[in-house]
Amino acid sequence: MPELADAHIHLFERGYASSFTARPGVTIDEPACFESLVQEHKLQAALVVGYQDEDSRRNNEFLAAINGRHDWLFPVAYHEFTQAMSVDGLAAWHSQKFCGISLYVFGDENTAALAAIPAECWDWLERHNWLISVNSKGDDWGAWQPILEQFPQLRVLASHLGLPPKLALPAAAAEARAAMQPVLDLAAFPGVHVKLSGFYAATDPGHDYPHRAAWPYVQALVDSYTTGRLLWASDFSPCLDWLSYPQTLGVFGHMPFLDATDIERITGKNLLGLLQSVG
């Protein structure tokens, strides 16, 4: 049986205030709930993406507290751009058994802060093979070009297909590539991977499983990255507003341009290989 590994989930102490877990009447212990999914689907690993906002100010502390309780749990710490990144800060996260960092890069202010991160931090991240989970979109992906030119082995994991425009119908191949170009350009750097996640954000409506409108985006990513650098990710628990957890995994079986070997790589083998080399 192929080994499965999920490249993007969230775990919050009281659920996330802007998704399914905030609905009236919903009370959920997210780690316990996800543990049940791990057992059902025989998952080997899940990359837990840290995120903090006004409603979840202490997510890093929560992830550090539960780290080690589950052998499938591999958390990446959220970096707030209002604070300076430092090697000492990275080392502190390292001591808490984080395996990477989580960056949300949207708009000029964030891209300027990204450019201001000291070179010694990128050097530390590259030497430790840490995973850098990134949420961004459009031209903001271009901010990575000068960083990756200096540190081409950085393990940058682009979330949610790179957040291309939402479509109701499949785009022509050329149109899809044009929309994805800033993300496709990063394929020149060997450490960059893309998460095949958040299909609900790429199709209109979001529950339009199996998300055929987004297939040309996936094909463009396969052409540029090969299936050796693509990662399945569920986006638990926000995905539950739109579809079931098994559908986030089953979508690939509907794509005619992916064979069984491709799906095995995407749904587990690639992420497990990355995690094995984290220092």
pLDDT digits (tens, 9 = 90+) for 13-46: 988 777 888 888 888 899 999 999 999 999 999 9
- Tell me what the pLDDT averaged over the chain comes to: 96
* Residue spans of alpha helices (H) in 53-139: 59-66, 87-95, 107-115, 119-127
User: Integer distance in angstroms from the first to the last C-alpha of the chain?
Assistant: 28
- CA torsion sign, 48 to 262 to 104 to 236? negative
Q: How many CB atoms lie within 10 A of CB 260?
A: 10
Q: How many CB atoms lie within 10 A of CB 177?
A: 18
Q: Is the pLDDT of residue 213 over 70?
A: yes
Q: Which band of pLDDT confidence, cut at 50, 70 and 90, is reported for residue 104?
A: very high
Q: CA-to-CA distance for 49 and 57, rounded, in angstroms?
A: 14
What pLDDT is attached to residue 53? 84
pLDDT digits (tens, 9 = 90+) for 147-184: 999 999 999 999 999 999 999 999 999 999 999 999 99
pLDDT digits (tens, 9 = 90+) for 82-94: 999 999 999 999 9
Are the C-beta atoms of residues 64 and 96 closer than 8 Å to each other? yes
Q: CA-to-CA distance for 234 and 240, rounded, in angstroms?
A: 9
Q: Is the pLDDT of residue 186 over 80?
A: yes
Are the C-beta atoms of residues 252 and 230 closer than 8 Å to each other? no
Q: Which band of pLDDT confidence, cut at 50, 70 and 90, is reported for residue 215?
A: very high
Give residue for tokens 């970096």. Answer: 79
pTM above 0.85, yes or no: yes
**Measured torsion, CA atoms of residues 129, 32, 12, 202, in degrees rounded to the nearest 10:** 70
The secondary structure of residue 106, as a DSSP letter, is -
Q: Is the pLDDT of residue 1 over 70?
A: no
Q: What are the structural domains of the chain? A: 4-276 (3.20.20.140)
Tokens of 106: 């949207």
Q: How many CB atoms lie within 10 A of CB 241?
A: 16
Q: What percent of the chain clears pLDDT 70, i.e. is strictly above it?
A: 100
Q: What number is the average pLDDT over the span 249-272?
A: 98
